[in-house]
């Protein structure tokens, strides 16, 4: 089931390999074996599970096919994938990243990498000039996220690729929010695409995983060696679960995005809501750029309440959403960014970025959107009464 | 469970997870695959927020491993190399490490290919010679990483002497305890600060999972390792945590048989005309035999032997029937490896040959099959 002309929905269902050659089983069996016998004293396709495993091959081929990469790499978590990809840098190198990036990545760039002699400058990436100005002789890479989390600021990927090419920089993009279905970025010239597959790609909130892919053979070779050497590979059972999750990605994402569009409209009209953040909005400053590089707004949005005191009653009242960090599951997940997803970012930084205590992020699941709205409204009205 | 502090190791291992599931009383602790956890209210948590940061199944496993080694805190990872990667991220650019020269090739590879460009330097020394270790200490040295017994030549390092040297020179003392496990060797008793395991090996024991462990002796270092585990995310998945817990229950039984079988096989190999040398600490003429008796409760299930020619080595690997020719070690199934090509293939040839890892050297992870069958298979393969 391979070939360049196969459409994404088909790739998702069949992936690179979808049946067991030995038995014809419709799914590849879960190969837990840590090691492989060398028949006749010769190594076969597999020798040691950290270096390669049939279930991992399945998801690694799937992400490469979906993104248009030459090879994929599966990691034990999204952060392990980010750490693995950032190992393309070395001590003394400099990195530029958005000032409103995911809290876990921010922690990694500010508290782990500086010890290894890798420094990061954080800029507002919606402004390409700021990126240009931050480039130093030792700058090696741009780390990108678009839309940003949780304020949905849009970075112009073509402009970033242009800067990177002119200045000889690598571009690494965290494409978790959009998935390759909505935002295929390797064709735009992005060098390395990273996913927290814990989110939409896995889609059931029942596994942690990270995926990386690239269209560049040379980068793929380096990533492959690092992946094997560093050892944070995704275990076989989770590869199986992820492959299973991928099969329904398109139908899940379409349903969730429809739900998000409906909630966005209704939240905008609700008197308790001060502001909605979502690329679909007509007055969103990044709307045109977003839709020039992505096929939809996605299924996550944020909204700010007029009164911060209303946050707690809302969270106490709603019944459907899971109140938790994370996103991209079939279940709707409501996150208080200040205390959950962005807890690792200092309060002063959050304030300066506009991540207020009254901000909530909603990852819309595939429940009936009408039920979701009824549930949210109850929470929003409760405070008034 | 307050009496568990007095239990012997075998009882503790058998009882892992028992009584921990208060909701149902399940004897086998459940697998929690959930990535995230519902919060009761803003600022409140059940103790679990997000599985990278903490997972109930992983918690039971990590607590058990910390208790088993006698450390303050354990962190589990998706492979032994992921555990070492995380440990190495503890250091800074400019720091220097001293490492056993008789060590797993993957550790050598990650130090030379990844951490060297991140500014972490390493010296490889014969850690069976304490004076040689002290001789390479520099002002920027931060840690000593010792594998004992060594891999693949089974040299024995003096843990007491190295522990003292580390204290005197303020080095972090890290012991890779993969070959012996806490059942046979407890590095914290000799002053180790961190114990490392590839739990893919004896701890897992069934060749069906990849996992790594770091155990810190004290709470502060444990907290630091947890910070790195959570930040870098190379965690062990809940299913594999559960499999590892299940494996630990039979660890003492398995090791007993591994040790007994390995000794018999080593003695048999010594008498074989095609075998020129046998490396097993349980043999009386092994240079580390007495030292091993002082610091460990057994000699383990790993041995290496040198045959008369490279042709013999190839023929043996091709003719083995019961024993699999495969990388890895520590499983119930017997596995044989050609270290020069497989496990230590990433060490440059001149260095490898200097260490004695030539293509006549075979490493044997003796399984728990009937020892007569193992010997019969070796006999027909060596004929």
d(CA B24, CA A343): 33
Q: Is the pLDDT of residue A1 over 80?
A: no
Starting from the edge strand earliest in sequence, which strands make up the sheet with B121-125, in order?
A: B73-77, B212-216, B194-198, B172-176, B141-147, B96-100, B121-125
d(CA A4, CA B259): 54
Distances (CA, A) of B286 to B194, B280, B282, B302: 27, 7, 7, 14
Task: Give the pLDDT score at A383.
Answer: 60
Contact between B231 and A77 (Cβ < 8 Å): no
Q: Average pLDDT, whole number, for chain B?
A: 94
Q: Measured between beta carbons, which residues in chain B are less than 8 angstroms from residue A107? A: 231
pLDDT in tens, B45-74: 889 989 999 999 999 999 999 999 999 999
ω into residue B267 within 30 of 0, thus cis?
no
**Residue B1 binned pLDDT confidence (cut-offs 50, 70, 90):** very low
Q: Catalytic annotation on B370?
A: no
Structure tokens at B264: 């018999």
Q: Which of A33, A39, A50 to mutate to test the interface with B (most CBs of B within 10 A)?
A: A50
Among candidate residues B205, B160, B202, B155, the one with its CA nearest the CA of residue B180: B202
Contact between A51 and B80 (Cβ < 8 Å): no
Any chain A CB within 8 A of the CB of B314?
yes
Q: Measured between beta carbons, which residues in chain B are less than 8 angstroms from residue A77? A: 52, 233-235
Q: Please tell me the total number of residues recorded for chain B in this structure.
A: 383
pLDDT in tens, B110-127: 999 999 999 999 999 999
Q: Measured between beta carbons, which residues in chain B are less than 8 angstroms from residue A323? A: 38-39
Distances (CA, A) of A310 to A121, A234, A265, A266, B187: 36, 41, 20, 18, 54
Q: Catalytic annotation on B372?
A: no
Residues 6+ apart with CB under 8 A from B309: B360
Work out the minimum CA distance from A311 to partner chain B, whole angstroms.
8
% of chain A surpassing 90 pLDDT: 81
Work out the minimum CA distance from B119 to partner chain A, whole angstroms.
6
Work out the minimum CA distance from A76 to partner chain B, whole angstroms.
5
pLDDT in tens, A117-164: 999 999 999 999 999 999 999 999 999 999 999 999 999 999 999 999
Structure tokens at A142: 């741009």
Q: Measured between beta carbons, which residues in chain A are less than 8 angstroms from residue B325? A: 37-38, 41
pLDDT in tens, A219-248: 999 999 999 999 999 999 999 999 999 999
Q: Measured between beta carbons, which residues in chain B are less than 8 angstroms from residue A90? A: 117-118
d(CA B29, CA B16): 8
User: Alpha helix (H) ranges present in chain B?
Assistant: 9-14, 56-69, 80-88, 105-110, 130-135, 159-168, 181-184, 219-232, 238-248, 251-270, 289-295, 310-319, 349-355, 371-382
d(CA A146, CA A328): 16
Task: Give the pLDDT score at B82.
Answer: 98
Distances (CA, A) of B196 to A103, B145, B212, B294: 29, 9, 8, 21
Residues 228-257 of chain B with CB under 8 A from chain A are 228, 231-237, 239-240, 243
Q: Measured between beta carbons, which residues in chain B are less than 8 angstroms from residue A92? A: 119
Q: What is the 3-state secondary structure (H, E, C) of A358-370?
A: CEEEEECCCCCHH
Output phi, psi for B222, to 5 deg: -60, -40
Any chain A CB within 8 A of the CB of B307?
no
From B29, B32, B37, B104, the catalytic residue: B104
Work out the minimum CA distance from A195 to partner chain B, whole angstroms.
13
Residues 88-127 of chain B with CB under 8 A from chain A are 89, 91-94, 106, 109-110, 113-114, 117-120
A·B CB contacts under 8 A: 215
The closest CB to that of B39, out of A37, A38, A323, belongs to A323
Distances (CA, A) of B323 to A44, A243, B329, B376: 17, 33, 12, 10
Q: DSSP character for B256?
A: H
Residues 6+ apart with CB under 8 A from A138: A92, A93, A94
Q: Is the pLDDT of residue B3 over 60?
A: no
- Within 10 angstroms of residue B220's Cβ, the number of other Cβ atoms is 11
Handedness of CA B64, B65, B71, B73 (dihedral sign): negative
Q: Which of B55, B196, B237 to mutate to test the interface with A (most CBs of A within 10 A)?
A: B237
**Residue A24 binned pLDDT confidence (cut-offs 50, 70, 90):** confident
pLDDT in tens, B216-253: 999 999 999 999 999 999 999 999 999 999 999 999 99
Work out the minimum CA distance from A156 to partner chain B, whole angstroms.
28
Cβ–Cβ below 8 Å for A36 and B240: no
Q: Catalytic annotation on B20?
A: no
Q: Which residues of A have a catalytic role annotated? A: 50, 102, 174, 199
Cβ–Cβ below 8 Å for A38 and B114: no
Instruction: Return the CA Rg of chain A.
Output: 21
Instruction: Return the CA Rg of chain B.
Output: 21
Pairing of strands B361-365, A119-123: unpaired
User: Alpha helix (H) ranges present in A91-170?
Assistant: 103-107, 128-134, 157-167
- Within 10 angstroms of residue B319's Cβ, the number of other Cβ atoms is 17
- Within 10 angstroms of residue A352's Cβ, the number of other Cβ atoms is 11
d(CA B250, CA B84): 26
Work out the minimum CA distance from A43 to partner chain B, whole angstroms.
8
The closest CB to that of A316, out of B41, B209, B335, belongs to B41
% of chain B surpassing 90 pLDDT: 86
Work out the minimum CA distance from A140 to partner chain B, whole angstroms.
14
Read off the pTM: 0.90
Task: Give the pLDDT score at B2.
Answer: 42
- Within 10 angstroms of residue B35's Cβ, the number of other Cβ atoms is 27
From B176, B193, B240, B377, the catalytic residue: B176
Any chain A CB within 8 A of the CB of B30?
no
Contact between B28 and B241 (Cβ < 8 Å): no
Q: DSSP character for A139?
A: E
Q: Is the pLDDT of residue B99 over 70?
A: yes
CA closest to B208 among chain A residues? A33
A92: region left, alpha or beta (phi > 0 left; psi from -120 to 50 alpha): left
Task: Give the pLDDT score at A4.
Answer: 59
Query: What percent of chain B is helix, strand and coil (3-state, nearest 5)?
Result: 40, 15, 45
First-to-last CA distance in chain A? 58
Cβ–Cβ below 8 Å for B36 and A323: no
The closest CB to that of B82, out of A41, A202, A230, belongs to A230
Any chain A CB within 8 A of the CB of B322?
no
Q: Catalytic annotation on B8?
A: no
pLDDT in tens, A154-169: 999 999 999 999 999 9
């Amino acid at each position: 089931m391979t070939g360049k002309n196969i459409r994404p929905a088909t790739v998702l269902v069949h992936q690179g390999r979808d049946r067991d050659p030995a038995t014809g089983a419709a799914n590849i069996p879960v190969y837990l074996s840590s090691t492989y016998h060398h028949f006749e004293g010769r190594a076969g396709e597999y020798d040691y599970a950290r270096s390669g495993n049939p279930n991992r091959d399945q998801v690694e081929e799937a992400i490469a096919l979906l993104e248009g990469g030459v090879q994929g790499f599966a990691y034990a978590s999204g952060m392990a994938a980010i750490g693995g990809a950032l190992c393309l840098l070395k001590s003394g190198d400099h990195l530029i990243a958005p000032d409103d990036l995911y809290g876990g990545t921010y922690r990694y760039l500010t508290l782990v990498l500086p010890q290894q002699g890798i420094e990061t400058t954080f800029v507002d990436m919606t402004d390409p000039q700021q990126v240009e100005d931050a480039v130093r002789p030792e700058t090696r890479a741009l780390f990108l996220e678009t839309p940003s989390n949780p304020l949905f600021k849009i970075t112009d990927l073509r402009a970033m690729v242009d800067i990177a090419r002119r200045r000889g920089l690598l571009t690494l993009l965290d494409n978790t929010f959009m998935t390759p279905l909505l935002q295929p970025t390797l064709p735009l010239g992005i060098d390395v695409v990273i996913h927290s597959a814990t989110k939409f790609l896995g889609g059931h909130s029942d596994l942690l995983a990270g995926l990386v892919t690239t269209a560049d053979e040379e980068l793929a070779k380096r990533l492959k060696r690092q992946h094997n050497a560093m050892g944070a590979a995704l275990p076989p059972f989770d590869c199986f679960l992820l492959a299973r999750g991928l099969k329904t990605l398109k139908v899940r994402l379409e349903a969730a995005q429809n739900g998000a569009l409906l909630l966005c409209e209704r939240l905008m009209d609700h008197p308790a809501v001060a502001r909605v953040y979502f690329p679909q909005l007509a007055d969103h400053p990044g709307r045109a750029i977003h839709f020039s590089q992505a096929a939809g707004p996605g299924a996550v949005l944020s909204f700010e309440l007029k009164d911060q005191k209303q946050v707690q009653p809302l969270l106490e009242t709603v019944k459907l959403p899971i109140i938790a960090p994370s996103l991209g599951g079939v279940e709707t997940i409501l996150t208080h960014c200040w205390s959950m997803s962005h807890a690792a970012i200092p309060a002063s930084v959050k304030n300066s970025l506009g991540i207020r205590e009254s901000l909530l992020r909603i990852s819309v699941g595939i429940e009936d959107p009408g039920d979701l709205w009824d549930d949210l409204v109850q929470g929003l009205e409760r405070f008034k009464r | 469970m307050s009496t568990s502090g007095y239990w012997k190791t075998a009882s503790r291992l058998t009882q892992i997870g028992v009584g921990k599931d208060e909701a149902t009383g399940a004897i086998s602790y459940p697998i929690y695959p959930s990535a995230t956890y519902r919060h009761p209210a803003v600022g409140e948590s059940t103790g679990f927020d997000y599985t990278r940061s903490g997972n109930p199944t992983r918690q039971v496993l990590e607590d058990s491993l910390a208790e088993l080694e006698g450390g303050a805190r354990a962190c589990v990872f998706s492979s032994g190399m992921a555990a070492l990667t995380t440990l190495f991220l503890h250091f800074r650019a400019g720091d220097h490490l001293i490492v056993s020269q008789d060590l797993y090739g993957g550790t050598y590879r990650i130090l030379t290919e990844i951490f060297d460009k991140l500014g972490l330097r390493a010296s490889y020394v014969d850690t069976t010679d304490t004076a040689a270790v002290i001789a390479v200490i520099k002002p920027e040295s931060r840690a000593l990483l010792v594998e004992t017994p060594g891999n693949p030549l089974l040299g024995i390092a003096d843990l007491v002497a190295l522990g003292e040297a580390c204290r005197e020179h303020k080095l972090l003392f890290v012991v890779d305890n993969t070959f012996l496990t806490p059942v046979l060797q407890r590095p914290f008793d000799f002053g180790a600060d961190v114990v490392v395991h590839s739990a893919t090996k004896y701890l897992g024991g069934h060749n069906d999972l990849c996992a790594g462990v770091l155990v810190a002796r004290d709470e502060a270092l444990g907290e630091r390792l947890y910070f790195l585990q959570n930040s870098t995310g190379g965690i062990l998945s809940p299913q594999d945590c559960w499999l590892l817990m299940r494996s630990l229950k039979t660890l003492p039984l398995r090791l007993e048989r591994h040790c007994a079988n390995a000794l018999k096989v080593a003695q048999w190999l010594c008498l074989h005309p095609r075998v020129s040398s046998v490396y097993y600490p349980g043999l009386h003429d092994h240079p580390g035999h007495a030292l091993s008796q002082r610091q460990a409760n057994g000699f383990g299930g790993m041995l290496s032997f040198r045959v008369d020619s490279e042709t013999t080595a190839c023929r043996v690997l091709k003719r083995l029937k019961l024993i699999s020719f495969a990388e890895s070690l520590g499983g119930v199934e017997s596995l044989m490896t050609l270290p020069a090509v497989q496990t230590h293939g990433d060490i440059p040839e001149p260095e490898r040959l200097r260490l004695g890892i030539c293509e006549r050297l075979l490493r044997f992870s003796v399984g728990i099959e009937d020892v007569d069958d193992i010997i019969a298979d070796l006999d027909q393969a060596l004929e």
